[in-house]
Amino acid sequence: MKLSFSKQFIANAVALFGVWLVLSGKYDLSHLVLGFLISCGVAWLNTGFPDSPFHQFPWGRVVLY
């Protein structure tokens, strides 16, 4: 079963923010906000975009070319 975009985004963002907290080791406001913004950005980029034309582009042929 495929999760909706929002559920998948939230799950990815929370997981990435958890990793940020563990690896950062700094818990002041500026680091927390920066970590939250970066984890949301990476989660947004990694969450599937089914209507994107890049998913249908033959990237393998470009590499072989």
5 pLDDT band, cuts 50/70/90, is confident
Reported as type and span, the H/E element at residue 40 is helix 29-46
Count of positions (residues) in the chain? 65
12, 47 Cβ separation under 8 angstroms: yes
21, 60 Cβ separation under 8 angstroms: no
For residue 17, give its domain range: 5-64
Task: Write down the mean pLDDT value for the chain.
Answer: 83
Domain count, the chain: 1
Between 14 and 45, residue with greater pLDDT:
14
- What would the pLDDT profile of 28-55 be if each residue is shown by its tens digit? 999 999 999 999 999 988 886 656 565 6
pTM: 0.68
The pLDDT value recorded for residue 47 is 80
Q: Is 27 exposed, middle or buried (0-12, 13-18, 19+ CB in 10 A)?
A: exposed
Q: Which CA distances in Å does 20 have to 29, 40, 60? A: 14, 11, 33
